[in-house]
C-alpha cells in the first residue's frame, strides 16, 4: 500500500463507488506516497478517507479484505503471471461478447428479411394488379414499406433521409433492437391486414397502436436487455 500507483487506483475506485469518500485526505496521502518516511496501513486508509473498498477486522476471524476490483489490482502488482492471464481472459470475454452481439443482431436482421418476403408477397397478391408494370409495382412496395415506417418510426424513409442527410444508411439500418423486434412483427401483421382487405389508412392506425404497445412492453420488461 506504499506504492503510489496502488493508492491512486484505490482512490479512483472510491470516487466511483463511495459517495462519502474523503477526497481531501486522499490527496494528502497521495502526495506523500513514495517518500522514505511514508507508510500506510489498511486501518489508517479507512479511518482517514472513509474508504469502503477495503475492510480490516481484528479478532479470531479477522483480517484485511478488499473488493474484487482492488484485489485484482493487488494481485496484478504481486504477480506478472496473474496480470497476464487476467488480460488474456478479459480479451477472450470481450471477443465472446462481440460475437454474441453480432449473432443477436444478425438473427434480428434475418427474421426481418424473412418477414419482409411475407409482407411483399401479400402486397403482390392483393394490392398490385396483374397488368401493372415493374416500375409501378415498385412504387406500391415503397408506399407499403412507408406504412410500416410511419407506424413504427413516425416518419417515411424520405423524411428520415432528409433529416439525416449526413448519415449513411437508411432508417431501418439505424433502428434499435427493440424497433427491429417490433418491425418483424408489424410486417407479419400487415400482411394479414392486407389479405383481409383493410384500407391503408386503417392498417396504419392499427399498426401504430400495435407498435406503441409492443415497444412499451419491451421497455417495461427489459426483454431485449436479456437478449443482449
- Residues 184, 224: contact at Cβ < 8 Å? no
Identify the CA nearest to 67 among candidates 15, 19, 13: 13
Average pLDDT over the chain reads 80
Residue 77 has pLDDT above 50, yes or no: yes
* pLDDT higher at 39 or 127: 39
* pLDDT higher at 18 or 220: 18
Range picked from 39-43, 102-106, 123-127, 216-220 for highest mean pLDDT: 39-43
The domain locations on the chain are 4-78, 96-227
Note the pTM of the prediction, 2 decimals. Answer: 0.43
Structural element, H or E, at residue 93: helix 80-126
pLDDT at 83: 85
Region of poorest pLDDT, from 61-70, 113-122, 219-228: 219-228
Per-residue pLDDT tens over the stretch 152-163? 888 888 999 999
Where does residue 91 rank: exposed (0-12), middle (13-18), buried (19+ CB within 10 A)? Answer: exposed
Q: What is the mean pLDDT of residues 72-89?
A: 85
Q: CB atoms < 10 A from the CB of 18, how many?
A: 16
Amino acid at each position: 500500500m506504499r506504492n503510489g500507483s496502488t493508492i491512486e487506483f484505490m482512490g479512483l475506485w472510491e470516487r466511483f463507488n463511495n459517495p462519502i469518500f474523503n477526497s481531501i485526505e486522499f490527496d494528502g496521502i497521495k502526495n506523500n506516497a513514495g517518500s522514505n518516511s511514508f507508510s500506510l496501513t489498511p486501518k489508517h486508509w479507512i479511518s482517514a478517507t472513509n474508504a469502503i473498498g477495503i475492510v480490516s477486522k481484528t479478532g479470531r476471524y479477522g483480517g484485511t479484505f478488499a473488493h474484487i476490483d482492488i484485489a485484482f489490482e493487488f494481485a496484478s502488482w504481486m504477480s506478472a503471471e496473474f496480470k497476464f492471464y487476467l488480460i488474456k481472459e478479459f480479451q477472450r470475454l470481450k471477443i465472446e461478447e462481440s460475437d454474441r452481439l453480432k449473432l443477436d443482431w444478425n438473427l434480428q436482421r434475418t427474421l426481418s428479411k424473412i418477414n419482409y418476403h411475407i409482407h411483399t408477397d401479400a402486397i403482390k397478391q392483393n394490392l398490385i394488379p396483374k397488368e401493372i408494370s415493374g416500375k409501378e409495382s415498385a412504387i406500391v412496395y415503397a408506399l407499403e414499406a412507408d406504412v410500416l415506417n410511419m407506424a413504427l418510426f413516425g416518419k417515411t424513409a424520405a423524411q428520415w433521409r432528409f433529416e439525416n442527410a449526413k448519415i449513411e444508411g437508411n432508417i431501418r439500418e439505424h433502428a434499435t433492437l427493440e424497433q427491429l423486434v417490433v418491425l418483424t412483427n408489424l410486417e407479419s401483421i400487415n400482411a394479414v391486414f392486407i389479405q383481409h382487405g383493410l384500407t391503408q389508412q386503417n392498417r396504419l392506425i392499427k399498426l401504430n397502436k400495435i407498435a406503441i404497445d409492443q415497444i412499451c412492453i419491451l421497455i417495461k420488461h427489459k426483454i431485449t436487455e436479456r437478449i443482449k
